[in-house]
């Protein structure tokens, strides 16, 4: 408790973002991937509020350390440009991976943000850009087998003929694709098929544009960048791994086999709160909605100001524990919108206010995102991105 300064929120939980671990994870991916080529680039994915870690706090740490920033929404790209101009930092290369509307494309082009041509609708953009006197830097998304955005190789000549027609306002700088199941398997036969489709798509695209090659090809997210070296191309798009989390246990297993040594990914996030109240409930008392828990003896409980509104899943009811003073304190009864009640009978010596760790380490114990995600029947990706945007993110150095 003493180590928690008064600037931390009192009646709400907060997230601690460890800057040194973020930097160390970037280095881990750089050292794995630069084996491919010296001009190789490492990009990081800041979508989903930086996987719940907070877009601006994460940006403040990674900006300048990576070669490209990937986001899904045009709004996030504008947040990054605003951050740069406020802080006086040189603009980083940004690529909006998601869909872009015509008005947004004009604004993004004016801010020097790269965009993805991944669906129909871009063919009417030529005159709009010309009118505005702008050139859009675009990357073509090739659907190699995910069935989400992108063009199948066979559709490229017709669907993308406009890129040659309007070559004065479209600067096609690269091509990309995205894997469907690299995280789910330890044998990558489907991914290898996707690589072939991508190569073919790039050839068709070059022929359609009448160019010899594309300067930037990128395909691999965290998992493929580790376990599928031929997928690294010119740049990797690191999402989950940046935050120190493994895409799956299969990926970790494969990485052990493929790489000379396993990269030390360090989880960046801790989630903590102070107690709202610590008190005794007499034997026979019920706890929480539905009266699903009944104390069979006098029980010292801590009421914690965290609930499913904050992203603490209701599926953790009567299942999870938090850490108090390095000891496990079980969640009693149901997770509520803004509260949980935990048993601290053994965890504390008295009824003074306490610090609880929902994710992270406390003394000899630690609670991983994976453990909580497993209890909540989901994956680490979903758990972190559902952490409430309203929670305060505090950047720390360890």
Minimum CB separation of residue 265 from ligand PLP in Å reads: 11
Q: Which of residues 157-186 bind ligand PLP (CB under 6 A)?
A: 178
Q: Which residues of 16-54 are buried (b: 16+ CB within 10 A; e: fewer)?
A: bbbbebbbbbbebbbebbeebeeebbbbbbbbbbbbbbb
- Beta strands (DSSP E) in 97-159 are 114-117, 136-141
Nearer to ligand PLP, 105 or 220 (CB): 220
| 72 vs 303, beta carbon nearer ligand PLP | 72
Site track 34-53 with ligand PLP (rule: CB under 6 A), x = hit: -----------x-x------
Query: Is 97 a binder of ligand PLP (CB under 6 A)?
Result: yes
> Among 32, 78, 238, 358, which residue interacts with ligand PLP (rule: CB under 6 A)?
238
The reply on whether position 96 binds ligand PLP by CB under 6 A is: no
Residue 82 phi, psi (nearest 5): -65, -40
Give me the active site residues, please: 47, 289
Phi, psi of 330 (to 5 degrees): -65, 145
∠ CA 23-178-153 to the nearest 5 degrees? 145
Residue list 241-270, contact with ligand PLP (CB under 6 A): 241, 247
In the block, tokens 């280095």 appear at 27
Which residue, 94 or 97, is less far from ligand PLP as judged by CB?
Answer: 97
Residues 6+ apart with CB under 8 A from 129: 105, 106, 109, 135, 136, 166, 169, 170
Quick one: which of 49, 188, 222, 299 contacts ligand PLP (CB under 6 A)? 222
DSSP state of 293: E
Which residue sits closest to ligand PLP, CB atoms considered? Answer: 239
When the beta carbons of 235 and 324 are compared against ligand PLP, the nearer one is 235
Alpha carbons within 13 angstroms on the beta-carbon side of residue 62 total: 35
Which of 302, 309, 251, 265 has its CA nearest to residue 280? 302
The least CB distance from residue 227 to ligand PLP, in Å, is 12
Q: Which residues of 345-378 are buried (b: 16+ CB within 10 A; e: fewer)?
A: eebbeeeeebbbbbbbebeebebebbebbebbee
* CA proximity to 239, closest of 80, 38, 48: 48
Cβ nearer to ligand PLP, comparing 138 with 331: 138
221 touches ligand PLP by CB under 6 A = yes
In the block, tokens 């931390």 appear at 8
Least Å distance between CB 246 and ligand PLP? 10
Check binding of 69 to ligand PLP (CB under 6 A): no
- Angle at CA 19, nearest 5°, toward 358 and 52? 50
Binding to ligand PLP by residue 240, rule CB under 6 A?
A: yes
Q: Which residue has the tokens 């068709």?
A: 204
In the complex, least distance from residue 77 CB atom to ligand PLP, rounded to whole angstroms: 15
Number of residues near ligand PLP (by CB under 6 A): 13
In angstroms, give the least distance from the CB of 33 to ligand PLP: 13
Which of 201, 239, 267, 307 binds ligand PLP (CB under 6 A)? It is: 239
Nearer to ligand PLP, 75 or 292 (CB): 75
Stretch that binds ligand PLP, among 26-34, 84-92, 216-224, 387-395 (CB under 6 A): 216-224
Q: Does 115 interact with ligand PLP (rule: CB under 6 A)?
A: no
Radius of gyration of the chain (CA): 24
Nearer to ligand PLP, 21 or 237 (CB): 237
Per DSSP, 146 falls in state S
Chain residues binding ligand PLP by CB under 6 A are 45, 47, 97, 178, 221-223, 237-241, 247
């Amino acid at each position: 408790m003493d180590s928690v300064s008064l600037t931390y929120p009192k009646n709400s939980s907060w997230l601690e973002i460890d800057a040194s671990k973020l930097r160390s994870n970037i280095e881990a991916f750089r050292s794995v991937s630069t084996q491919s080529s010296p001009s190789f680039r490492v990009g990081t994915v800041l979508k989903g509020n930086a996987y719940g870690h907070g877009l601006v706090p994460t940006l403040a740490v990674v900006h300048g350390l990576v070669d490209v920033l990937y986001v899904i929404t045009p709004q996030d790209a504008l947040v990054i440009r605003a951050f740069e101009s406020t802080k006086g930092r040189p603009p980083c290369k940004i690529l909006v991976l998601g869909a872009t509307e015509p008005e947004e494309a004009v604004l993004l082009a004016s801010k020097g943000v790269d965009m993805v041509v991944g669906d129909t609708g871009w063919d009417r953009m030529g005159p709009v850009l010309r009118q505005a006197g702008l050139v859009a830097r675009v990357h073509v998304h090739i659907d190699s087998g995910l069935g989400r955005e992108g063009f199948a190789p066979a559709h490229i000549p017709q669907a993308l003929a406009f890129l040659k027609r309007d070559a004065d306002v479209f600067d096609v700088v690269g091509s990309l694709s995205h894997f469907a199941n690299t995280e789910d398997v330890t044998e990558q036969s489907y991914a290898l098929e996707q690589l072939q489709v991508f190569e073919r798509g790039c050839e068709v695209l070059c022929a359609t544009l009448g160019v010899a090659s594309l300067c930037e090809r990128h395909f691999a997210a965290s998992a493929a960048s580790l376990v599928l070296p031929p997928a690294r191309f010119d740049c990797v798009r690191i999402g989950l791994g940046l935050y120190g989390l493994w895409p799956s246990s299969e990926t970790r297993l494969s990485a052990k086999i493929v790489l000379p040594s396993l990269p030390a990914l360090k989880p960046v996030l801790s989630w903590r709160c102070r107690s709202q109240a610590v008190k005794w409930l007499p034997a026979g008392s019920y706890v929480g909605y539905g009266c699903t828990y009944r104390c069979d003896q006098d029980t010292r409980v801590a009421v914690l100001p965290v609930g499913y509104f904050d992203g603490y899943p209701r599926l953790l009811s009567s299942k999870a524990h938090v850490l108090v003073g390095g000891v496990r304190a079980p969640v009693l009864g149901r997770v509520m919108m803004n509260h949980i009640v935990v048993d601290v009978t053994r965890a504390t010596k008295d009824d003074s206010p306490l610090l609880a760790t929902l994710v992270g380490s406390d003394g000899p114990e630690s609670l991983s995102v994976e453990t909580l995600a497993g209890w909540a029947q989901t994956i680490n990706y979903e758990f972190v991105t559902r952490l409430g945007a309203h929670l305060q993110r505090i950047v720390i150095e360890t």
